[in-house]
Structure 1
């Protein structure tokens, strides 16, 4: 199957992977033949990319680290827990959160087991799911990325669990931000941005007095927007003052934010998100954490068409666990001509060949 932009989706194409709604029900089933009403509906839902079945990508499979049923159950549990907190007054929120902590820990432990039991680099398909509440699936994804980073860095199981809980709850303070600010589709005013930044303090205050979770979890919420050069918030901490767990969650938070669909901007590809973090490595972000992210997540998802530096087009066929930035590819075009017989090779074996472009708008010409 192949990943294409919604802009080039046409009637008659065949859906390669199911899209799920927030209730965990199929919104668009695999193998459905695309029609114009389907295309219009996907645009309304702000879907940017879709997997299709076609000849050049035949047999290429895309598997998430966490299966859809597990993901849907986790996000549903996060939703229930967070919604119960939203329904109470601010001074009761910590009490309700304490009651919900066991369910949250269970979610984290399930996700942790999924990552530890997988030898593959982390794959998350953000376009395969439709959620009304960004906060809930963002919390899920930041947890996954944080655990993957910490695993790559060699943390113990107990630390991985704490990092996962801290990641799951890193934005819990946003439940106390006025919804008209939290969900505003346009750029925030300076006053609104100042209010938004308070979510780190709100989260710390919600979490620091809980009996059921470590105080480190509260500091993850408090510090995940701090930057090692002192330019972050809320306290302008520098490198050694920021807890290592918060550094990990901060990188995971940025990576998910730029690679997820938002109403006010298009998502970036994982490789582009990694490039943003690499640009800030050693100044904004801990270089060890950025390196661990780079080694633990997919850069170019399977089914992605790439333009190579030698004027060949290829589709990513398999990941390379040694260097995720150099996947295995299937060449299907040379010098703008479709070739009769495709062939595969690993970019890792040919360091002189570079990836020039990601081409999700590629259309096969008959």
Structure 2
């Protein structure tokens, strides 16, 4: 299978991966032959890239972080709980669920157990969703990334539970933001932005006195937009004033926000997002955590078409666990752009003079 831009998708191509709706149910199944109408509809729904079948890449295997069944259960839990807060907020009331921590902890333990089975690099979240509400999927993605990075940092199971709960609930304050602002397609006004920027304090207020949620998890909600140099919000605190978990969440929250389609901007590719994070290492983000994240995330996920410094074009077929930014690439065209009759593979972890210069979405 190969990952391509929706703009380069042609009628007659076949899906290589399911596309899911907001509830985790299959919207379009793998092997479906795409029509012009389907392609345009996917584009309207905010799908910018899809996996298609390609005989040159038919053996590529995409490994998921968690099972689709687990993903659906987690999204259901997030959606139902967050929706309750949203519904009460519409009525001008503050909703309080004393069982919130218990509801999430059951799902969280299953996620941690599944992720602990993955000993290889952190793989990009490859499942393609059509989502009506970014908040639900984002909360799950940030939780998965946070647990993976926390595991790499050597956190204990109990620490991962607190971190994971803080990650899953880090944006709960956004349930109090009016939907017309949260889902607005146009640029936010200064007043609307100020409302959005209240969500860390609102989240902390919603979580701090909950009997089943630790105060550290509540501080994850409060501090995940704080930055080392004091340029973050809501309090503009610096360095070690920011809890370690919140520093970690600041990285994965930003990464997922950049690599997920939003109503007002398309998703960036993983390597682009990592470059932005790297630019802020030591100033905005903890440099050690950034390095560790880079060493765990597959910035060129399997199925991605890349151009090498040799002029050749290839498809990423596998990730090297120790050097995920130097994958195994199957060369499909030579340096002159001529398609090879017999593609061959280069293990970039062993060919250090060869580098990826760009992702070629137009091939």
Q: Same fold (TM over 0.5)?
A: yes
Does the 8 Å contact 1:306/1:315 carry over to 2? yes
Quick one: distance in 1 between partners of 2:100 and 2:85? 9
State the distance in 2 between where 1:218 and 1:25 align.
31
Counting matched residue pairs gives: 360
User: Quick check: 1:6–1:43 contact (8 Å CA) kept in 2?
Assistant: yes
**Range that drifts further, 168-177 or 187-196:** 187-196
Partner secondary structure for residue 299 of structure 1: coil
Matches within 5 A, 1:118-133: 118-125=118-125, 128-133=128-133
Aligned to 1:145: 145
- Provide the residue aligned with 1:30 in structure 2: 30
TM-score where L is the length of structure 2: 0.96
Aligned to 2:338: 337
Q: How does 1:1-366 map to 2 (within 5 A)?
A: 1-88=1-88, 92-93=94-95, 95-96=96-97, 98-125=98-125, 128-335=128-335, 336-362=337-363
* Structure 2 counterpart SS, 1:51: strand
Secondary structure at 1:315's aligned position in 2?
strand
Q: Alpha-carbon deviations, 1:44-65, whole Å to 9, x = none?
A: 1111011011122121111211
Deviations 1:22-57 (A, max 9, x none): 232211110111111111211111110110111221
Q: For 1:152 and 1:250, how far apart are their aligned partners in 2?
A: 16
CA distance in structure 2 between the aligned counterparts of 1:282 and 1:193, rounded to whole angstroms = 27
Confirm or deny: 8 A CA contact 2:163 2:245 kept in the other structure. Answer: yes
Q: Render the CA deviation track for 1:191-239: whole Å, top value 9, x for unaligned.
A: 2111111101100101110111110011110000000000000111001
Structure 1 unaligned spans of 5+ = none
Unaligned runs of at least 5 residues, structure 2: none
Asked whether the equivalents of residues 3 and 49 of structure 1 are also in contact (C-alpha less than 8 Å), the reply is: yes
Query: Is the CA contact (8 Å cut-off) linking 1:281 and 1:290 kept in structure 2?
Result: yes
Alpha-carbon contact 2:183-2:263 (below 8 Å) kept: no
Shift in Å at residue 122 of structure 1?
Answer: 2.4
Contact 1:200-1:221 at 8 Å conserved across structures:
yes
Q: Which has the larger displacement, 45-54 or 174-183?
A: 174-183
Q: TM-score, normalised by structure 1?
A: 0.95
User: Alpha-carbon deviation of 1:126?
Assistant: 5.4
User: Does the 8 Å contact 2:184/2:263 carry over to 1?
Assistant: no
- Checking the alignment, whether the CA contact within 8 Å between 2:62 and 2:126 is kept in structure 1 is no
| Shift in Å, 1:354 | 1.2
3-state SS of paired residue (1:298)? coil
Instruction: Tell me, yes or no, if the aligned pair for 1:18 and 1:26 is still in contact at 8 Å.
Output: yes
Q: How large is the Cα RMSD of the aligned pairs?
A: 1.3
Task: Give, in whole Å, the separation in 1 of the partners of 2:256 and 2:102.
Answer: 25
The range that moved more, 135-144 or 149-158, is: 149-158
Residues 299 and 324 in structure 2, CA contact (< 8 A), matched pair in contact too: yes
Do 2:75 and 2:137's aligned partners in 1 also have CA atoms closer than 8 Å? yes
User: 1:286-313 CA distances to partner (integer Å, 9 max, x unpaired)?
Assistant: 1111112112221111011100000111
